[in-house]
Amino acid sequence: KQWYQRRVAITAGVNKAYRKLSLKHHPDRADDPKSEEYFTEAAEAYDVLSVPYRRAVYDQFGEEGLKSGVPTTDEPGGFSGGYIFHGNALKTFKDFFGGDNPFSEFFEPPRDPDFAIGFGGLRGRGRPKQDPPIVRDLCLTLEELYLGSIKKMKISRRVMNDDGHTSSIRDKVLTINVKPGWPLGTKITFQKEGDQGPNSIPADIVFIVKDKDHPLYKRVETDLYYTATIPLGNALTGCTVDIPTLDGRLICVPINDIVKPGYTKRVAGEGMPLASSKDGSEKGDLIISFDIQFPTQLSVDQKKVLKQALL
């Protein structure tokens, strides 16, 4: 699928080609049932080829390299983040033409004289509207959520140049202060940090907290769940279970009950911090479940002892 070459003829100029193709395939103007698909492909091609860095990556590594990421010199073995099209072809169209409907300036008189400024002015454009929020996952380890941490998220966004007409891609680092105990789904919003356009308000960037898989724990709201593996003998006679905590401690939990299938042990105050706690001292509980290991074989004498004890 060579969609970049098909949609935009580089030798004819990216801007000129995008203008021609976007007007030709605009869903409000074209009758072709595939016009919306072509319109979106043209927008994505323009979004890549109008940015020197993205165009250079595409020219050198192709579509797969552009979208999967390419080697970076920032650190040995590192890769840059892959390109993801924002998916809003109408936004690209609006930013390029400076309004929602360029056709109105040629074919429609202004309905409200207040919108007719100078010679043509802002016919049909109205007030700037803010772009929809850009939502991204913020994947955190349970340790980061237990202790709190600082995350720095690097974003690339389109910024208007001083001339007010052209734009360029610039990087920015957003700092997130992760609070201990943030619940799953917590939203962190950076207002108006999205792409800038001549007639649009930049979108808010919203990060949503998600838990990374943990080798030992799983959290459910403010409780932590842990599975301890014990042999059948300990399940019947009692034992002590040593459990490493998320803050580096080792707690010893005595098990005096007979551990049956489905049995759990609750340890108060050893779960996740409550986000509402001012000093982090309030915590949920630790819930221990058990994986009972049965012996693979027993000697005759062992069987006799078990029969005498249990039957």
Tell me the C-alpha distance between 13 and 263, whole Å.
70
pLDDT of 191 reads 92
Question: Tokens 């043509």 label which residue?
Answer: 120
Burial class (CB in 10 A: 0-12, 13-18, 19+), 195: buried
Q: CA quadruple 133, 135, 140, 142: dihedral positive or negative?
A: positive
Helix (H, G, I), strand (E, B) or coil at 44: helix
Q: What is the DSSP string of 172-191?
A: EEEEEEEPTTPPTT-EEEET
Q: Using one digit for the tens of pLDDT, what is the confidence trace for 205-234?
A: 999 999 999 999 999 999 999 999 999 988
Helix (H, G, I), strand (E, B) or coil at 281: coil
Beta bridge partners of 156: 171
Report pTM. 0.56
Helix (H, G, I), strand (E, B) or coil at 303: helix
Task: Please check whether residue 203 is in contact with residue 170, taking contact to mean a CB–CB distance below 8 angstroms.
Answer: no
Q: Using one digit for the tens of pLDDT, what is the confidence trace for 268-288?
A: 999 999 988 777 778 899 999
Q: Using one digit for the tens of pLDDT, what is the confidence trace for 45-78?
A: 888 877 777 777 777 777 777 777 766 655 555 5
Q: Using one digit for the tens of pLDDT, what is the confidence trace for 232-253?
A: 988 888 889 999 999 999 999 9
Tell me the C-alpha distance between 307 and 134, whole Å.
66
Residue whose C-alpha is closest to residue 7's, from 42, 50, 55, 59? 42
Tell me the C-alpha distance between 21 and 42, whole Å.
7
Q: Using one digit for the tens of pLDDT, what is the confidence trace for 111-154?
A: 444 333 333 333 344 567 888 888 989 999 999 999 999 999 88
Tell me the C-alpha distance between 220 and 76, whole Å.
37
Would you state the structure tokens that stand for residue 29, as one six-digit string?
């103007």
Would you state the structure tokens that stand for residue 69, as one six-digit string?
């990421």
Please give the backbone phi and psi of residue 84, each rounded to the nearest 5 degrees, phi first. Answer: -130, 120
Predicted confidence (pLDDT) at residue 108 exceeds the cutoff of 70:
no
Tell me the C-alpha distance between 140 and 185, whole Å.
11
